[in-house]
A and B are shown apart, each in its own frame.
Chain A
Amino acid sequence: MPAPEQRDEVEMLSLMLLIRRFEERASQQYQAQKIGGFCHLYIGQEAVVVGAIAAARNDDYLITAYRDHAHALARGTTADACMAELFGKATGCSRGLGGSMHYFDKANHMYGGHAIVGAHVPLACGLAFACKYREEDRVTLCFFGDGAINQGAFHEALNLAALLKLPVIFICENNLFAMGTSVERSTSLKEIVDRAEGYDIPGVVADGMNFRDVRDKLSEVVDSIRKDPHPAFVEIRTYRYRGHSMSDPASYRTKEQLEQYRMDDPITRLRAQLTREGKLSNEQFDAMDKQAKETALASVKFAEESAEPPVEELYNYTYVG
């Protein structure tokens, strides 16, 4: 496995493209009623998870909330398995039993996909606790939204992590809205990162529209934790272009705000950086984008053609022997 600093930026851009094209297909398939339940898209936030995994090792643990498609894709779950999960098929990453909000991939150290806001933050402490217990140098990456920081579970988890010096990074993807409620309306602090101070946990802010800033800030944090286990908090300021979920028209925010963030698009930005530095040609970018679109489209075909989980297996996953 390559050392984090050697992760190829072009490859990371290609991953961001895959995430975006996958989400666009998911959106289309949701509207075509091929996908049930809730579906929360990540479009606009791609640099956050990709920047984070660029700073980590493949065997570091990753856990997130319900806006989780990108986290699985970033971790190496195939687009096929991700789309099939949305279709509720047995070939899905959770056998069609989890759905959009409950993606799991044990082989790629993706520990969910958790849909009760804030409730997975204690789970992240448990993952990190296990690493420390076994004297492993893994770091746990725990993602959550700005809405999670006002849940009791979040606060209990931060306090426990600090007390037990757990090797976990609490990564707040601050996209300014908890569903339809803005940060100003939900959080007493002006700066979310200041939550960390209350638990004597070091806090860092990163620009979530800038892949390099996310990767570099997280690399420093990861290195520091690997040397000496401790928790850290990183607020990553980002924006989702779509509503909270597919059913949300996002009328609580202005078109101007959305446009402003679109101008600062993380994919466009990394592309421009790489092009300027002579590391990426237009042809290369177009080929990568074409590939991403094809992979996303092929995943729809794969999902459509996959079998449903058999009803006879209904009781197979309630208990293990």
Chain B
Amino acid sequence: MSGEMREITYRQALSEALGEELERDPNVFLMGEEVAQYNGAYKVSQGLLDRFGPKRIIDTPISENGFAGMGVGSAMVGLRPVIEFMTFSFSLVAFDQVVNNATNMLTMSGGQFNIPITFRGPNGPAHQLGATHSHATECLYANFPGLKICTPATPRDAKGLLKTAIRDNNPVLVLESELLYSSKGMIEPAEQELLIPLGQAELKREGTDVTIICYAQTVPLALAAAQALEEEEISAEVLDLRSIKPLDHEAIFNSVAKTHRVVIAEQDRPYCGIGAEICYRIQNEIFDELDAPIARVSQEDVPMPYNERLEKAVLPSAEKIVAAVKKVCNA
């Protein structure tokens, strides 16, 4: 039984997910900079302090290492913290807590302590924030066994993935996107439970000539590229990974076996980026399905410049994806 779909923003979707999980489980709490009285730097936690009170919606000082570690400690004894990083660029200050404490704990305690924690916040370049505030951290974190990572691109995925992350018994990173917070999309009615499994990609558009593999900010770019390619009679399939770890190889292999040509549109940098891993897996598992070398569209391999024109030159774009598709299709 399902009600009428409705349109909400990505920001509202995240807020609904938090509200529902806080309501459902008294062990869930939200902690981070400006999450309570200020209602969230990006207003994701708008209204939650009024609804759940200061015991469960907790403002912290600017101490990412401290409050991330505090979250991990509380998770050792069964609380389910949601830790907001104002941006994942700041998570680098807490890198040790995420990597050594949240992620290693289960193994180094011989299975005694799992860490049911969610770290969430915007990740990746936004608009002219310069080198320190524009990091796409997914490839850094993906290297650590023990972490799960998801990258919602739509309001529906944002809600469904965040709720699943909070219920997961492992540390999960929910990598949101500043550029997507105000984007809108269709979603089930609020009263209908929406859980999207981690590790499950989704075809955002079907096609026959080429697969564009994308996630997070590159999903709208890939969709725009596919639209443009339609006019040139190239039918592009758009596969949104939704999760970086675990990675849905089945969905990737199925799509590639259908189209035989691949462009990977990633929001991180090329060197050891997510696309490098996907290329390896495709050639290793279904090399014979490929009719052309795989192309990658990523950031340029430079620290992010502030200048708008230069920033644009660094970032992936629909135009760059179109060009890459034409190259692999010999069009």
Interface set of A (CB-CB < 8 Å, partner B): 61, 63, 92-99, 102, 104-106, 111-114, 116, 119-130, 133, 152-153, 156-157, 159-160, 163-164, 316-321
B145 neighbours in A (Cβ, 8 Å): 318
Docked-complex contact B97 and A317, CB < 8 angstroms: no
Choose among B79, B96, B106, B114 the residue that contacts A119 (Cβ–Cβ < 8 A): B96
Give B55-112 interface residues, CB cut-off 8 Å to A. 55, 58, 60-61, 63, 65-79, 81, 96-97, 100-101, 105-112
Docked-complex contact A160 and B110, CB < 8 angstroms: no
CB within 8 Å: A-B pair count: 144
For the complex with contacts A95-B111, A120-B69, 5 further pairs of A-B residues with Cβ separation under 8 Å are A94-B109, A96-B110, A121-B69, A129-B74, A157-B69
Which chain A residue shows the least CB distance to B148? A319
Docked-complex contact A125 and B73, CB < 8 angstroms: yes
Q: How far is the CA of A114 from the CA of B106 in the complex (A)?
A: 13
B107 neighbours in A (Cβ, 8 Å): 97, 317-318
A128 neighbours in B (Cβ, 8 Å): 73
Interface set of B (CB-CB < 8 Å, partner A): 29, 55, 58, 60-61, 63, 65-79, 81, 96-97, 100-101, 105-114, 145-146, 148, 169-170
A82 smallest CB distance to B (angstroms): 13
Choose among A125, A318, A321 the residue that contacts B70 (Cβ–Cβ < 8 A): A125
B74 neighbours in A (Cβ, 8 Å): 126-127, 129-130, 133
Docked-complex contact A97 and B110, CB < 8 angstroms: yes
Q: How far is the CA of A170 from the CA of B188 in the complex (A)?
A: 49
B234 smallest CB distance to A (angstroms): 40
Docked-complex contact B108 and A126, CB < 8 angstroms: no
Which chain B residue shows the least CB distance to A315? B145
Q: How far is the CA of A104 from the CA of B106 in the complex (A)?
A: 10
Q: How far is the CA of A129 from the CA of B75 in the complex (A)?
A: 10
Which 8 pairs across A and B sit closest by C-beta, in order of nearness?
A: A126-B73, A122-B69, A156-B66, A95-B110, A123-B73, A104-B109, A156-B63, A94-B110
A120 neighbours in B (Cβ, 8 Å): 69, 101
Docked-complex contact A119 and B108, CB < 8 angstroms: no
Docked-complex contact A160 and B55, CB < 8 angstroms: no
